[in-house]
C-alpha cells in the first residue's frame, strides 16, 4: 500500500519528535543500583540491611542503608554518619534529610547511612568492640579485624558505587567544633562543593591514613567531611547547618532543583593553618571564650587553677599564641597537663573571616523554632 506524499510529510515530523523524546528519556533515565543483591530501580526507594558480624549474643547486626534512586540520571552521592559511634549530630542530620520533601524530585541516586559504626553506637563509643577506630581501618579486608571487615564491606557495597560523599562527624567526647568542612581544597571540584556547603570555615585537610576519605579518594570518589558539635550530644545549630549544607551541595550537583529563595551565603574562608592551645598544668579550667570567638595573639582564653591550693598558688593563664578564630574547644573543666583546650584557625584576612563566622552564628541563632522545610532551613 502506498502512502501519499502529503501523508508522509505529516507523519515524519511526528515520528521524529517521538524518537527524540524516547531518546531523551533513555539518556536521562537513571540507572538501577544493586547493593547486597537488592536492586533499587529508578523511581524507587528502599531500606537495605547490609549484614555485618553478629554480636556474641547471637544477635544479628546490619547497617541500614536508605537508598533513593531518582527517576532521572545524575550523580550517586552517599551521606554517612556515626563512622565514630558516639558522634550523633550526623544521625539526626540524616533523619531530617530523609524527611525533606524536595527529595521527590531527586536526580541521580542518594544513599543515606544514619549509622555506619553500628557496634560503637550500642556502647556509646567512638570505637569498635576490638578498640579499633573505623576511620583508621579503611580500606579494610575480608579477613582482617572486625573494624577492617566493616570497612571493607562498607567501601565495596556503598562507597565504590558513588561519585561523591559527605561524611558527618562531631568533635570528640567533651569537645565541640564550630561547623566546618574539611576536604582536599587543592582539587577545584571538591573546593567548589565545600564552598557550596555554606559554612564559614573550610580546612584544607590532608588525607589521613586509613580514613574513609582516603579510601574513597583512591576510588575517585570526592568526599567532604563535615565536623560540627560534640560527641554524644545534639547541637541544633550544627544539625541545621548540616542539613542545609547537604541540600545546598545536592543543588550544586544538580541532584535537586534550584531553590526559589537561595540561602544568603556566608563567604567561606579557608584556614591557612590551625593549632591547639594545650593545658600548661593539670587542674580546673575556667574557659573564657566561646566557639567562633575572634581572638588576638596574647588574649586570655582560660585560666587553670589547682584545687588543692586555691589561696597562694598562682593560676596558669592560657593565652592565644595567634590571631585567629576558635573553631574547637574542650567543654570539661577537668584538665590534665598537655590536654588540648582551644583549637585556633588562622586566616589570611582574619577580620573578614571573623565577620563571616559572626554572620553565620547570628543567622542560626535568630531563627525561631526549628523549621524542617529545606526552603527555609537556616
Ligand atoms: Zn569523627
Tens-place pLDDT, residues 257-312: 988 776 665 678 899 899 999 999 999 999 999 999 999 999 999 999 988 766 67
State how far the Cα of 327 lies from the Cα of 216, in Å rounded to an integer: 26
- Ligand 1 centroid to Cα of residue 29, in Å, is 36
Secondary structure class of 282 (helix, strand, coil): coil
* pLDDT of the residue at 376: 45
Distance 169 CA to ligand 1 centre (A): 4
For 183, the grid coordinates are 576536604
Q: Which has the closest alpha carbon to 148: 125, 165, 130?
A: 130
Cell numbers placing 149 = 571487615
Looking at residue 325, its pLDDT comes to 96
Q: Name all domains of the chain by residue range, CATH numbers in brackets.
A: 29-270 (3.40.630.10), 273-347 (2.40.50.100)
User: Which protein residues have their CB within 5 A of the ion that is ligand 1?
Assistant: 84, 87, 169
Q: pLDDT value at position 175?
A: 97
Q: 127 CA distance to ligand 1 centroid (A)?
A: 10
Instruction: Tell how far the Cα of 232 is from the centroid of ligand 1, in angstroms.
Output: 11
pLDDT for 371? 45
| CA 115 – ligand 1 centroid, Å | 12
Provide the whole-model pTM.
Answer: 0.89
Residue with cell 536492586: 39
pLDDT lower than 50: segments of the chain: 1, 369-378
Residue pair 92/234 in contact by the 8 Å Cβ criterion = yes
Q: Tell me how far apart the alpha carbons of residues 327 and 64 are, in angstroms, rounded to a whole number.
A: 32
Ligand 1 center to 68 CA (angstroms): 25
What's the pLDDT tens digit per position in 47-70? 999 999 999 999 999 999 999 999
Half-sphere exposure of 242 (CA within 13 A, CB side): 34
pLDDT at 341: 98
pLDDT of residue 375: 47
Centroid of ligand 1 to alpha carbon of 176 (angstroms): 12
Taking alpha carbons only, the member of 372, 180, 356, 166 closest to residue 252 is 166
The Cβ of residue 41 has, within 10 Å, a number of other Cβ atoms equal to 13
Dist. CA 120 → ligand 1 center (Å) = 12
* Per-residue confidence (pLDDT) for residue 363, from 0 to 100: 79
CA 283 – ligand 1 centroid, Å: 27
pLDDT at 234: 97
Amino acid at each position: 500500500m502506498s502512502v501519499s506524499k502529503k501523508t508522509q510529510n505529516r507523519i515524519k515530523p511526528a515520528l521524529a519528535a517521538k524518537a527524540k523524546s524516547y531518546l531523551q528519556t533513555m539518556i536521562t533515565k537513571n540507572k538501577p543500583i544493586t547493593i547486597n543483591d537488592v536492586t533499587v530501580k529508578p523511581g524507587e526507594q528502599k531500606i537495605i540491611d547490609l549484614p555485618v558480624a553478629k554480636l556474641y549474643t547471637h544477635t544479628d547486626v546490619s547497617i541500614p542503608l536508605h537508598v533513593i534512586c531518582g527517576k532521572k540520571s545524575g550523580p550517586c552521592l552517599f551521606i554517612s554518619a556515626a563512622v565514630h559511634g558516639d558522634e550523633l549530630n550526623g544521625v539526626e542530620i540524616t533523619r531530617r534529610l530523609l524527611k525533606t520533601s524536595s527529595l521527590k524530585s531527586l536526580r541521580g541516586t542518594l544513599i543515606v547511612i544514619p549509622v555506619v559504626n553500628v557496634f560503637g553506637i550500642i556502647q556509646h563509643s567512638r570505637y569498635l568492640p576490638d578498640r579499633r577506630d573505623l576511620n583508621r581501618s579503611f580500606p579494610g579486608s575480608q579477613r582482617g579485624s572486625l573494624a577492617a571487615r566493616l570497612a571493607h564491606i562498607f567501601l565495596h557495597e556503598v562507597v565504590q558505587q558513588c561519585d561523591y560523599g559527605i561524611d558527618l562527624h562531631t568533635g570528640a567526647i567533651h569537645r565541640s567544633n564550630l561547623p566546618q568542612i574539611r576536604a582536599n581544597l587543592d582539587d577545584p571540584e571538591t573546593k567548589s562543593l565545600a564552598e557550596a556547603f555554606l559554612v564559614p570555615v573550610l580546612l584544607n585537610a590532608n588525607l589521613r591514613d586509613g580514613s574513609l576519605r582516603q579510601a574513597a579518594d583512591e576510588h575517585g570518589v570526592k568526599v567532604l567531611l563535615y565536623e560540627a558539635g560534640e560527641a554524644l550530644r545534639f547541637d541544633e545549630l550544627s544539625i541545621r547547618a548540616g542539613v542545609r549544607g547537604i541540600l545546598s551541595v545536592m543543588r550544586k550537583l544538580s541532584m535537586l532543583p534550584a531553590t526559589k529563595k537561595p540561602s544568603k551565603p556566608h563567604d567561606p574562608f579557608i584556614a591557612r593553618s590551625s593549632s591547639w592551645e594545650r593545658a600548661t598544668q593539670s587542674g580546673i579550667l575556667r574557659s573564657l571564650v566561646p566557639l567562633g570567638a575572634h581572638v588576638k595573639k596574647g588574649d586570655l582564653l582560660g585560666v587553670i587553677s589547682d584545687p588543692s591550693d586555691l589561696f597562694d598558688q598562682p593560676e596558669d593563664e592560657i593565652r592565644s599564641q595567634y590571631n585567629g578564630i576558635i573553631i574547637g574547644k574542650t567543654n570539661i573543666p577537668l584538665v590534665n597537663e598537655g590536654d588540648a583546650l582551644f583549637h585556633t584557625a588562622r586566616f589570611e584576612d582574619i577580620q573578614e573571616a571573623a565577620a563571616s563566622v559572626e554572620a553565620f552564628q547570628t543567622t542560626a541563632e535568630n531563627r525561631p523554632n526549628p523549621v524542617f522545610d529545606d526552603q527555609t532551613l537556616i
